[in-house]
Chain A
Amino acid sequence: MKIHLHVNGKAHALELDPDMPLLWALRDHVGLTGTKYGCGQALCGACVVHLDGEAVRSCVTPVSRADGRAVVTIEGLSPDGSHPLQKAWVELAVPQCGFCQAGQIMTAAALLKKNPQPSEVDIDTSMAGNLCRCGTYLRIRAAIERAVAEKGKGG
């Protein structure tokens, strides 16, 4: 089936199995490998992208559901890594192996869009679906808080 994807502002027309998870369409057919496979079962959050602004787990999102809709991946979150979350992530040296971090940042970005002043509980609740085997959780909390504070300063 012909699928029309708008990924990071660019249009792609692809002939794909409608059941193919958006994750594999992005990685294998669009050529964007920033979105990661960690479990394939909506259990880890490594594959989170934005679909029309909502955080979704692309490993369980059939590509047909994304047909004609706007997809943003980690590569498109900001043109140059300048999103307040990306900046805070680098400043606080959050990543260890780094593999989960695209999903962490995309989940956090969707959270801040909806809730620019999240409480600690909001952060833990929203980030609960994102595993980090390296155990960077405390820095993830701190980086989200820093991004919120920076945004507040910038008005």
Chain B
Amino acid sequence: MTARSGPPILLLRRTFLAGLGGALTGLALGSRVGVAGPALPPAVDEAVKAEAAAEGAGLRPNLFVHVTPNGGVTIACARAEMGQGVRSSLPVLIADELGADMRRVEVVQAPGDPAYGDQNTDGSHSVRGFYDALRKLGACARMMLIAAAAVRWRVPASTCEAHDHAVHHPATGRSLGFGELAIAAAKLPVPQDILLRPRVELLHVGKELPLLDGPDIVTGRAIFGADVRLPGMLTAVIARPPVVGGRATQHDASKTLAVPGVRHVVPLPAPQPPFAFQPLGGVAVVADDTWSALRGRARLEVTWAPGANGDYDSSEYCEVLLAAVSAPGHVVREVGDVVRALGSASKRVEATYHVPHLAHAAMEPPVAVVRFDGQKCEVWAATQNPQAARKEVARALDIAPDQVTVNVTLLGGAFGRKSKPDYVVEAALLAKATGSPVRVQWTREDDIQHDYYHTVSTQRLEAGLDEVGKVVAWRHRTAFPPIGSTFTDTTLSVPGELQQGVLDVPLAIANVRAENCEARAHTRIGWLRSVANIYHAFAVQSFIAEIAHARGSDPRETLLEIIGPPRLVGLEELGVQSLPNYDQPLAEHPIDTGRHRRVIERVTDMARWSDREQRNRALGLAVHRSFLTYVASVVSVIRDPEGRLVVDEVWTSLDAGTLVNRERVRSQFEGAVIFALGHALYGEITMKGGATVQSNFRDYRLMRIGEAPRAIHLDIVDSDGPSGGAGEPGVPPVAPALANAIFALTGQRVRELPIARSLKV
């Protein structure tokens, strides 16, 4: 399979699947909350097929698969590549189903268009949502090629088979290449019932697949958002209001305009709440090159009015959240009578946990290039959500969406940030205002200070134990400004967020209640890789270890006891009316405690839990199901000679159902460990006067190589069950496993992240 790096302007990344001797489930990051499942692309598109047939271009039964008369196979990847490996994974499903020779398969990146089905690459659902649908796209083409060969040979189609880029008739030993059949196949009717191959015939799916874009990345040829160059293109940097909802009351651009290379200074409209995907406003400096734009912006004098969020102080806000969880909230889950059971318990355990705002800080800051001729608009952007970008750009320019083409570049990381197209709209407004193609380049400071932040949260947990130490009552109160506040004026989080570690946690406890406490947002809240699972899993999995300590038992035994015996946990047992379940029916993706137990057992075997007490080293354990994938992690912590706490090794067992690309699943889970450890140890965004205090990697600290664990051991449960996510589920169990290990080593319980606030790390 190969990627061809085309000239950036015309074709972004056409890449061949070559070298695919052997197969990646790469998955999407970021997440959607409470939205419908993915719209699937149709396996048959008569218009596309007819057009290709009429042009003699070969067989093109749908937008995704094209078999040319010279035997080339082109497959479109409609989802965005941000490091999760979709481009190395999804096309393989189609090509394998077709029976293609991977060396002759070329991958092209699809533009943003509803005709490709849902393209919003987040919620870890690229494989989960598309597994069968993508196979059908390839199967349709395969059946038509077989039909064409059967007509030619006058044999029943059922006696022919497709593999190695050809159709074969084993009885007579005849073969015809896909290329030789393409024109004839294109004239045939499309099959009514599309039959998928038996799983064993998929030769590459589930294997370790090579990295499609690897060769381009290591030679500097890969095209990311900032690498797109258009003739006559100008570069813009924007001075944005420091406070969300603030505005520039006046600006003096005289010194800016004196900088050589600066062409325009353009004030942008201030957004109206709810802020959604609107740009933040401010003043743009548009110049011949990046350096002139940066110098120009540095000389701009702007007076800002802070607006309604000018008083936001995140440390004071912790008190607001604490007050919220200290009072009853809306009951969202109820079994038995928690109040009575807590009242009559022989022992009570209580704890409050706090997780701060976090920034996405993808390695490539947001960037977009837009060309607009007054009627048609073309966009090149590092975006997770090209269809939303298309819609927002069309709205901003007041043109029809079909006048907007959105080309998706490599993303340079995203983690949920790049599904919000505010920066694409900025480029569109500036292309219109200046009459030139414009690239909007965010600096790292812009990125850290104007993010759609991971929310800030406080969790209060209370448990009641009976006289033998059995947990008989569990109350969980959660408070965090909801993602919905970015889109409507709301203070109430929704089931899409609460399903992530509140509603869906299996608890073999007779009396359970969860309460949703309201919280008002004072900045833009967005989704960050694994979303609400981050703070819910941190609280719940830390708390279970606290219960173990309170009753003097092994944390692993306590965890298994609270999860309870292997079973499918239904709505009634959960004590909820309904569960979004990541947009999948519970019947297909049940909450299966057998799978929780299995990953716990496997990870603790692998990490030698029974040997956990060693001098100067301790282990911590946590388990969490998210995005329909079950993950348990063990973290080991040691104390170095200077007395600092160091993460030494991490073990993760995961059950993600059927995989497409085992190699990219492994890389996602390795990356998730580093991502989660970095946040738990150092990650924190604070706000004062409504403005973000941190501005670059100097004060928004990420994990560095010397701080990374010595080893990450992964264990993947073999499964042919329905696919779960892979990009996000590795994150949630890591922080609580780390906190539990620190407690085991030091006796100090971390209830507030980041750990660097309270301990020497």
Seen from chain A, the residues whose Cβ lies within 8 Å of a Cβ on chain B are 17, 20-21, 24-25, 27-29, 31-41, 43-44, 46, 73-75, 77-78, 80-81, 85-86, 89-90, 93-102, 105, 123-125, 127-128, 130-141
Contact = CB atoms under 8 A, between A and B. Distances in A.
B130 interface: no
B410 A97 contact: yes
Given A97-B363, A97-B413, A75 B84 contact: no
Contacts, number: 192
A97 B412 contact: yes
27 contacts: A24-B290, A24-B291, A25-B291, A27-B226, A28-B290, A33-B227, A37-B290, A38-B363, A39-B696, A40-B696, A41-B698, A44-B444, A74-B220, A90-B218, A96-B83, A96-B667, A96-B668, A98-B83, A98-B222, A99-B364, A102-B218, A123-B705, A125-B706, A130-B705, A133-B702, A136-B671, A140-B705
Interface stretch (B33-41, B343-351, B581-589, B672-680): B672-680
A27 to B, nearest CB: 7
A143 to B, nearest CB: 10
Contacts of A105: 218
Nearest to B673: A135
A102 B363 contact: no
Nearest to B448: A39
A93 B696 contact: no
B46 to A, nearest CB: 37
Contact of A133 (B81, B223, B229, B361): B361
A154 B217 CA distance: 25
Interface residues of B, number: 65
Contacts of B702: 131, 133
B705 A39 contact: no
Contacts of A86: 218-219
B615 interface: no
Contact of A81 (B81, B215, B667, B678): B215
Given A28-B290, A98-B217, A137 B705 contact: yes
A135 B675 contact: yes
A138 B711 contact: yes
Contacts of B410: 97-99
Contact of B214 (A85, A90, A102): A90
A99 B668 CA distance: 16
A137 B363 contact: no
A136 B675 CA distance: 10
A41 B214 CA distance: 27
Nearest to B704: A128
Contacts of B411: 97
A41 B365 CA distance: 14
Interface in B22-69: none
A135 B671 contact: yes
**Residue among B220, B292, B670 having the largest count of chain A Cβ atoms under 10 Å:** B220
Nearest to A127: B705
Interface string B364-376: 1100000000000
Interface of B: 81-85, 210-211, 213-215, 217-224, 226-227, 229, 235, 260, 289-292, 295, 361-365, 410-415, 441, 443-444, 663-664, 667-668, 670-675, 678, 696-698, 702-706, 708-709, 711-712
Contact of B289 (A24, A32, A131): A24
A99 B413 contact: yes
A85 B220 CA distance: 13
Contacts of B443: 40
A33 to B, nearest CB: 4
Contact of B444 (A41, A78, A102, A127): A41
Given A75-B219, A93-B211, A95-B211, A131 B413 contact: no
A87 to B, nearest CB: 8
Contacts of B704: 128, 131, 137
Contact of A101 (B217, B671, B675): B217
A93 B220 contact: no
A130 B708 CA distance: 13
Contact of A41 (B215, B223, B696, B709): B696
A94 to B, nearest CB: 8
B93 to A, nearest CB: 19
Contact of A138 (B289, B668, B678, B712): B712
Nearest to A81: B219
A29 B706 contact: no
Given A39-B444, A133-B415, 13 more contacts: A34-B221, A36-B226, A38-B365, A74-B218, A77-B219, A90-B214, A96-B671, A97-B411, A98-B213, A105-B218, A132-B674, A135-B670, A135-B703
B703 A134 contact: no
B220 A33 contact: yes
A1 B226 CA distance: 26
Contact of A135 (B291, B362, B672): B672
B224 A99 contact: yes
Contacts of A27: 226, 290
**Residue among B292, B672, B708 having the largest count of chain A Cβ atoms under 10 Å:** B708
**Residue among A90, A100, A123 having the largest count of chain B Cβ atoms under 10 Å:** A90
Q: Which 4 A-B pairs have the closest CB atoms?
A: A34-B220, A135-B674, A96-B83, A97-B83
A90 to B, nearest CB: 4
Nearest to B697: A43
Nearest to B709: A138
Contacts of A37: 226, 290, 365, 441
Contacts of A90: 210-211, 214-215, 218
B214 A95 contact: yes
B107 to A, nearest CB: 15
Contacts of B705: 123-124, 127-128, 130, 132, 137, 140-141
Contacts of B671: 96, 134-136
A46 B250 CA distance: 36
Contacts of A125: 706
Nearest to B708: A137
Nearest to B672: A135
B224 A36 contact: yes
A29 B415 CA distance: 31
Given A34-B219, A34-B220, A132 B214 contact: no
B16 to A, nearest CB: 14
A28 B363 contact: no
A134 B444 contact: no
A41 B83 CA distance: 24
Contacts of B362: 97, 99, 133
Contacts of A38: 363-365, 444
Given A32-B220, A36-B224, A128 B706 contact: yes
A138 B444 contact: no
B222 A20 contact: no
